[in-house]
Amino acid sequence: MNQERLKPWIDRLRVVLCLDPLAGVDPDTFADEQGNRRSIDRPLFAWLLHRTTTPIRDAELDLALWYALANDTPFDEAAIAADGPLQDSKAPSRGEIAIEVWTERELGAIQALWTLGAQRREPNLIRRAEGAARWCVEEIQPDNSTSHPWAVNAFVSLAAQGTIEADLYAQTLMHNAQVGTGRPGRFASVVLLASLRSLEMV
């Protein structure tokens, strides 16, 4: 991994996050500007605040990975597809789940897996997350992920290895998170902070 190529993105994220999105936030009552709270908030905040949290049973892959990350516990590697996306790639095409929901879960899982690899010094986890990110660049429009910039860390890592399309993907995720106000929303800022911290690890 070319650390010199990572530095401009780390600096960019620090500028975007000039205000600490965790300052004055109670993770137990956190909500975005619309009052929305998400299941993923609990493990995401737990990891950022260096806490542990009780996992929920039968969690979707993104949630399971974030709980494993927050608690530094093993996860079921068999639940991750061998190649391509981490989830079942056929689900959106079968109409079982909206493409936006599927994409957000996929990107959330990619971000968690990449961070697990960085935190545990396991390059194979980073490579698998980047393989899924590469598949997204080829198959999934970044606009499908709404305004939540999940997996910027994985796309930035690919960009640092010379994949220009991944750099553009990360830029689009960042842009979408700032449309309307010129800055990321409350939840988007927390997601970006998690990407920043994982990139700083390496």
Task: Give 68-99 pLDDT, tens digit per residue.
Answer: 999 999 999 999 999 999 997 766 776 778 88
Task: Give 99-153 pLDDT, tens digit per residue.
Answer: 888 999 999 999 999 999 999 999 999 999 999 999 999 999 887 667 899 999 9
Quote the CA–CA distance of 200 and 196 in Å, as a whole number.
6
Mean pLDDT of the chain: 93
Quote the CA–CA distance of 151 and 111 in Å, as a whole number.
4
DSSP at 144: G
Quote the CA–CA distance of 108 and 87 in Å, as a whole number.
11
What pLDDT, on a 0 to 100 scale, did the predictor assign at position 3? 78
In the chain, domain spans: 3-16+39-71+86-201
In angstroms, the first-to-last Cα distance of the chain is 9
Instruction: Look at residue 66 and tell me whether its pLDDT is greater than 90.
Output: yes
Quote the CA–CA distance of 76 and 59 in Å, as a whole number.
11
Task: Give 149-195 pLDDT, tens digit per residue.
Answer: 999 999 999 999 999 999 999 999 999 999 878 899 999 999 999 99
- The predicted model gives 46-66 an average pLDDT of 96
Among candidates 172, 178, 198, 160, which has minimal Cα distance to 18? 178
